[in-house]
Structure 1
Amino acid sequence: MVGVEATRAEQGAEGDTERTRIRYAYRLLSVVCLASLMSGINNSSLNIALPAIVSGLDATPFEASWVLMSFQLVHVTLMIFFGRLADVFGRRSMYLTGVGLFTAASLAAGMAPGVWLLIGCRVLQAIGAAMIITNSAALLTTAFPRRLLGQGLGIYMASFSLAQMLGPTVGGVVATEFGWRWTLLLNVPIGVVCLLWGLRVMRKVPRSTEPVKLDPVGNALVLIGLGGLLVALSLSGTTGWLDPWVVAGLVAFVIAVPVFLVVERRVAAPVVDVGLFREPVVGIGVLSGFLGTMSRFAVVLLMGLYFQAAQGDTPSEAGIKILPLAVASIVSSPGAGLLMRWVRARTVAAISSSVSLVGMVFLLVVIDVDTPYWLVLVAVLVIGLGSGGFIPANSTAMLQDVPPERLGITNGVRLMAQSSGVVISTAVSLTLISMPLPVQLRGQVLEGSIAQLSPDALGELVTGFRWAFGVMAVMTALCVLTSLVGRRTAAPVGNAGPVSTGPDD
């Protein structure tokens, strides 16, 4: 009898331990989701608030583009770096430091008296965001029992989708009603709550006993090469391709790329494991992801500028008009996961990218100064449906057959390629839309005041939008092509469901 009671007591203790772990895991999830909402809404809201920032700080086109690209460039460069550094300093400490830095930088950015101080604050925001993003999934993986990990990661991913949906509308309404500074200052109370709640909830995670392996030369080459390309693209529209700074940026990019490839093949812990690209399923998946990001990411930014610069809408009106794109993407993403139970992931990726191509071509055809909103709405809905389905399908196709010991580095390469697509897409799009205009009018595109000028200027602006959407349509077509080629290496139906792989999903 005593033995039975002892056994029951042990089972009860185990049950309490399991319940305690699950309770902690969901409390940790609330911290992670709050931080994800804060950083996600901040980034997507600035796409809509950019004209108000340009007008408020009297920024040049070059300066305005770097309000966005400075964050993206630093984030790409430091993403893998901070993931590895967390093994030494501890994920809890690095995560909370990131939240604190992002919050403080948001306060400083909202009070910045000049555009270059704002850009500097955006760099600090990017450092904080890199600390947050690279540790979020790892923290949840450690906290959740294996049987509930998929559910926890699914909720975490949903917070990014929610931020993507709310960001443009929140940014537009806040910029219109309270001024652009509040699109940044809004992060401060959220960040303070997140930091205090994190200090109370988060437990210390055991540090790795393995020596940390970093690749500072590789990270520096990414910064030099990608930064040089962005400088050249953002300056070329106003100064011409023969400007010394444009030439210097292109030279830096051309030299940095081959040097980077050589360095990465020789270091112990490379930023990018070049050997992965010898595996067709990985190489094609990374290329498809890069092309898909290149073709879809700038749609929200371009449409926000189109509604404000070409049609004279306020930021809030533009944000509301763009909302259906994010909603369509959120709806189609789980639909693609369901479809992958019966259809190969690479086939789903090819179908989804084809849907995006249809929407992009339709938008390219109908876009004009006085295009009715319902036509634009149809186009962005189709683009959103395709984009939402492509991301999880392409990620699953690439990662489902990767050996467990290679999963982390493969996913890191995937995320870095997609993040590079984000920053290059922004630079190329902002350059193309202003190129048909006279030099003296190009600054008014990002200021959103072109709609007040002559019909000729508006016609030239629409030509620029057509150029941008034309390039994005070509990138989408190439994405379709690589997805079709990749079907030969796709896993058979029923092998695996969609893979939860990080915030880009």
Structure 2
Amino acid sequence: MVMARPRTFRGPGEGADFMCKWHANPWAVLVTLSLGFFMTLLDLTIVNIAIPEMIDGLGASLDQTLWVVSGYALVLAVLLITAGRLGDLFGPRNLFAAGLVIFTLASIACGTAASPALLIAARAVQGLGAALLVPQTMTLIISVFPAQRRGTAMGIWGTVAGLATLSGPTLGGILVSTVGWRWIFLVNVPIGLAALALTFLVVPDIRHGRKHRFDVTGVLIATAALFCLTFGLQEGEHYHWGPGIWALLAIGASLVAGFLLNQRTKQHQEPLVPFALFRDRNFTVMTVLVALVSMAMIGLVLPFNLYLQSVLHMSAIKAGMVLAPSSLVSMTVGPFTGRLADRIGGKYLLMAGLTLYATGILVIVLIAGVATPWYAFIPATVITGLGIGCVIAPMSTEAMRNVEPRLAGAASGVNNTIRQIGSVIGAATVGALLQGRLAAELAAGRTYADAFIATMHVTAVLPIAVVMAGALACLLVRNHTKAELADPVPAAATRETTPSR
């Protein structure tokens, strides 16, 4: 089979020399993708710390301000599958660039919004931009990196996720206290512009040698189903899990069943979710695992952060610094575990990492008291960081290792959607446990501090249980050997592509 390389620009001058040197260079592509990915994850965490300032600055209610947070996550979760398939249709570079443009313009709109309604609307548009670009990052990584180097690339990709998570509360606190809450959005503008310029300089326009058709019916059903499920889970606690919420969740579940039946009839055409993906055992196991890990991470961070601020009375910035060792260790070990996964496979790294993460959660819960000093948590947060650092890169690598290039967009969309849904389920479940158990402990006559600590002991069961379930699921992973990955030709040159025109 004859392969065509992605088109490179050639012309006079140093600009042309730069483009010839860096165009389609895998590491330059990874830097560009990481900039866009960093922005989208930063905006999931940076806004929380500015809620009081937004309430004062816009005269917003607490409900309106919370929708500034949840509206972004809702749109992102609902559109990821569709955006992944759009990348197959129009090219991942084009969708990545479109996402950057929308996200950057929406960031300007957020930073200049004059009312709560305008800010919520702009955040929803931000979610659209994020949904367009996020699935393309994984698709492009597996397209430009040869098989034996993808683990390293995924490790760096995971490091970027850790950096964004770490930077959100800290950077948000600095911006809010110095230049004002609007800059938590405006800070995205220079990053977005830089990423957009690099996109057209270094990212190849990779198209596979066949035309794709767009499954409009599947998109409509999937969008409605994900909206019902995500909205119901996000807002269930707010509406006290009343009949309306349960009806919405039931409708969402029915739509999921209808979607699967619809997709079953289109497997020989162009389905939105190709069932062929799930014939690969590793992709199926990693799809389950990514949801479990997302649930576990929320299950630890949410109650632990509340404990630090409400029981130990730390500021948001100081609480973020207590959590920082976990992210720092994860960022440090991620590229190394990714490289190790390339050599020995991810199966045992995943099992070890998940076990370490569960151990770290258990230690945190056992040492948490009404007056525990901040430094006592350092060993436990280092253990959780080491654990999650051993999970992120191998999990992404094993999920995408055997996926056909023509299905990469769909696979990335499914993977990222399940990740978001896992986070939403984790937040809803932990939130309900926190609220219910804390009320019961307070009713029993305990002080708030003692009641919250007792509640943490209960909520910790969720992340520990799902993490250990994930470790057991990894027994089903088919491990590979280094010899199986022998692929001396760069991936971008060995896939059936047609140059952009």
TM-score range, shorter chain: 0.7 to 0.9
Q: Higher relative contact order at CA 8 Å, sep ≥6: structure 1 or structure 2?
A: 2
How many angstroms apart in 1 are the aligned matches of 2:400 and 2:206? 27
How far 1:255 sits from its partner (Å)? 1.5
1:74–1:123 Cα contact (<8 Å) kept = yes
Pair 1:205 & 2:196 matched: no
Instruction: From 461, 468, 471, give the equivalent of 2:459.
Output: 468
Shifted more, 427-436 versus 468-477: the winner is 427-436
The answer for the alignment partner of 1:103 in structure 2 is 104
Structure 1 counterpart SS, 2:23: helix
Shift of 1:379: 2.5
Equivalent positions of 1:389-404 (< 5 A) are 389-401=390-402
Cα contact 1:48–1:301 (8 A) shared by 2:
no
2:222 is aligned with 1:232: no
Q: Which amino acid aligns with 1:21?
A: C
The answer on 1:258 being equivalent to 2:257 is: yes
- Gap change, CA 1:375 and 1:222, over 3 Å in 2: farther
Count of residues paired in the alignment: 469
CA 1:345–1:147 in structure 2 vs 1: closer, same or farther (change >3 Å)?
Answer: closer
Q: Does 1:427 pair with 2:435?
A: no
Contact 2:46 2:169 in 1 (8 A): yes
Q: CA deviation at 1:346?
A: 1.1
Give me the whole-angstrom Cα distance separating, in 2, the residues matched to 1:98 and 1:364: 40
Shift, 1:43, TM fit: 2.4
Match of 2:468 among 463, 477, 480: 477
CA distance in 1, matches of 2:126, 2:141: 23
Residues 358-437 of structure 1: pairs in structure 2 closer than 5 A: 358-401=359-402, 409-436=410-437
**Aligned mates of 2:265, 2:44 — CA distance in 1:** 36
Q: 2:6: which partner in 1? A: none
Tell me the distance in 2 between the aligned counterparts of 1:145 and 1:378: 37
1:172-321 aligned within 5 A: 172-195=173-196, 197-198=197-198, 201=201, 205=205, 210-241=210-241, 243-267=242-266, 268-297=269-298, 299-321=300-322
- Report the CA distance between 1:357 and its aligned residue: 0.8
| Contact in 2 for aligned 1:225/1:253 (Cα 8 Å) | yes
The answer (yes or no) to whether the contact 2:135–2:409 under 8 Å persists in 1 is no
The 8 Å contact of residues 169 and 319 in structure 1, kept in 2 or not, is answered as yes
Alpha-carbon spacing, 1:229–1:76, altered in 2? closer, same or farther (3 Å): closer
CA distance in 2 between counterparts of 1:431 and 1:121 reads 29
Q: Which runs of 5+ in 1 are unaligned?
A: 1-12, 442-453
Higher alpha-carbon deviation: 161-170 or 296-305: 296-305
- For the residues of structure 2 that align with 1:73 and 1:131, how far apart are their CA atoms? 14
Contact 2:110 2:185 in 1 (8 A): yes
Instruction: Report the counterpart of residue 448 of structure 1 in structure 2.
Output: none
How far apart are the structure 1 equivalents of 2:231 and 2:237?
11
C-alpha distance in 2 between matches for 1:277 and 1:158: 27
CA–CA distance in structure 1, aligned partners of residues 235 and 344 of structure 2: 45
Q: Which residue of 2 aligns with 1:490?
A: 479
CA deviations on 1:335-391 (whole Å, 9 max, x unpaired) are 423544665421211111011111122223333443321233332222221111112
* CA–CA separation in structure 2 for the residues paired with 1:318 and 1:204: 42
| 1:13-28 superposed matches below 5 A | 20-25=19-24
Across the aligned residues of Structure 1 and Structure 2, the Cα RMSD in angstroms comes to: 4.1
Paired amino acid for 2:466 = M
Per-residue deviation, residues 175-198 of structure 1 (Å, max 9, x unmatched): 344443322222234334544x35
Any stretches of 5+ residues in structure 2 without a counterpart? 1-11, 492-501
Counterpart residue number, 1:73 = 74
Equivalent residues of 2:84, 2:409 under 8 A apart: no
Is the 2:85–2:410 Cα contact (8 Å) retained in structure 1?
Answer: no
2:39 aligns with 38
Q: TM-score, normalised by structure 2?
A: 0.78
Q: How far has the Cα of 1:92 moved from its partner?
A: 5.1
**CA 492–147 in structure 1, closer or farther in 2 if over 3 Å, else same:** closer
How far, CA to CA, are the matches of 1:91 and 1:276 in structure 2? 19
User: Does structure 1 retain, via aligned residues, the 8 Å contact 2:343–2:481?
Assistant: no
User: 2: CA distance between counterparts of 1:140 and 1:280?
Assistant: 21
CA 164–198 in structure 1, closer or farther in 2 if over 3 Å, else same? same
Task: Report the Cα distance in structure 2 between the residues aligned to 1:87 and 1:191, rounded to whole angstroms.
Answer: 23
- Paired amino acid for 1:470: V
Task: Give the Å deviation of 1:67.
Answer: 3.4
Deviations 1:4-54 (A, max 9, x none): xxxxxxxxx9xx999853333466665444333333323232344456556
Contact 1:352 1:389 (C-alpha < 8 Å) held by counterparts: yes
Residue number in structure 1 paired with 2:124:
123
What is the match of residue 446 of structure 1?
none
Q: Give the percent of matched residue pairs that are identical in Structure 1 and Structure 2.
A: 26
Q: d(CA) in 2 for partners of 1:401 and 1:103?
A: 34
- Cα deviation 1:376-409 (Å, max 9, x = unaligned): 3332222221111112223334444556666554
Structure 1 letter corresponding to 2:462: V
Q: After TM superposition, give the deviation of residue 100 of structure 1 in Å.
A: 2.4
Separation in 1 of the partners of 2:453 and 2:246?
28
Supply the AA of the counterpart residue of 1:473: I
Structure 1 pair 203/277, CA: closer, same or farther in 2 (3 Å)?
closer
Change (3 A) 1:336 1:150: closer
Partner of 2:8: none
Do the aligned residues in 2 keep the contact of 1:369 with 1:459 (CA within 8 Å)?
Answer: yes
Q: Distance in 2 between matches of 1:427 and 1:222?
A: 21
1:205-251 CA distances to partner (integer Å, 9 max, x unpaired)? 3766744322333333343333333433344434433x242232222
Residues 316-355 of structure 1 aligned to structure 2 (within 5 Å): 316-340=317-341, 343-355=344-356
